[in-house]
Amino acid sequence: MNLHEFQAKELLDRFGIPVPRGRIAASAIEAGSVARRLGLERCVVKAQVLAGDRAAHGGVRFAAGPEEAARSASELIGRPLVTTQTGPAGQTVHWVYVEEEVAHARALYCAVIVDRTTGGLALITRDLDGADPGRALVAHDAGTMTGLTLSESGVLGDFEGAAASLGLAPSHTALLAKRLAQLAEAAVALDAIQVEISPLVLTHDGDLVALDAKLIIDDNALFRHPEFGALRELSEPEGDDLAELAAQRHQINYLRLDGDIGVVVNGAGLALATLDLLHDAGGRPANFMDIRTTATSLDIAYAFELISANPRVRAVLVNVHGGGMQRCDTIADGIGIAVRRKGCAVPVVVRLAGNNADFASSRLKSYGVPIIETADMWEAARTSAELTTRKAA
């Protein structure tokens, strides 16, 4: 779950990391009112979209007082903001965050991420002075990486060493080490796969304040955080992203692609192998799909209907290996329910193996699903590619 800046700051504040005074606004009038209530002579008006690189594309504006804040908000709210991270259509701005402008002497980058090479957490720090202020910084940019470990007493790491590498004065170095420890504590407590502050600034009075924040929470850990339900409603994306979010709620990992072969697969590894085989066969997948073991037949029906609703899809490839937690017939029933409810106008190429594979095949036929059975994964991929190529010709 990707959170907006204002949501991320609210959570970081709970762990003792200072953030500028600010409030969210959904209209120009509200933006002016926020600046007036907070007594902000100079403020920053920030578009709240789930993408970075906002400053370089007009999504972050400085204002001298409430009137300018209202004017900046009116130019942002209700309009799409296009950045290097949004795609060409951009994202519609529904809110702006109005916060005080903070003068500072140094700008730093710090983040805690899941290090995919080790499977553990890593702390990344970098000096931002001299960096291009308009370019979005990403976690793999050059910087110092420090491994973190978890123990019964909390998260452990060389926070003092990471802080010292940035060359601050001793008193500021000690405070930075404290901020880095707070950031790591927040990442663990919130089940974050990425939490970053860019920039963390050293103010003229010697404090370290988070001017911007990004927080991504592991979807698989949301059951431990029921309080995030309200945050998720405010963070819901649009279009294809909304479909991906809805699929998550149905125990489906789904990502729409630009091809014409719908893909129904259980297991992330098997799904990636299926996409590779389709490419090798000359086909173009319309989506990535990983049906979780916790998905019911009704969840799978929703997933199949999601694929069928894509006007680009000309064939569907079902590649399923039944296991002890999820049998082939559970997926077959889901597909059958979807076809009974919405129909299916394209051929369905099926490769079934594992637990209850034969029974699943008979279930699909009894539902009236127009299946083409294949013996193995390669034949299924090749057949799907041939069907779409023939239709395109």
Catalytic residue check, 109? yes
Residue for token pair 């894509």: 310
Is residue 181 a contact partner of residue 160, using CB atoms and an 8 Å limit? Answer: no
35-46 residues labelled b (16+ CB within 10 A) or e (exposed): beebebeebbbb
- Both structure tokens of 215: 């927080």
Question: Rg of the chain over CA atoms, in angstroms?
Answer: 25
Angle between helices 357-367 and 328-342 (to 10 degrees): 10
Q: Which of 78, 72, 70, 50 is nearest to 60 (CA)?
A: 72
- One-letter amino acid at 35 equals A
DSSP state of 296: -
Helix (H, G, I), strand (E, B) or coil at 287: strand
Q: Which of 146, 187, 142, 137 is nearest to 164 (CA)?
A: 146
Selected catalytic residue, list 5, 30, 196, 244: 196
What's the DSSP call for residue 213?
E
DSSP reduced 3-state for 345: coil
Lookup: tokens for 37: 């209530």
Question: Contact 279/272 with Cβ under 8 angstroms?
Answer: no
Question: Pairing state of beta strands 60-63 and 43-47?
Answer: antiparallel
Catalytic residue among 109, 244, 254, 302: 109
Active site residue 196: yes
Active site residue ranges? 109, 196
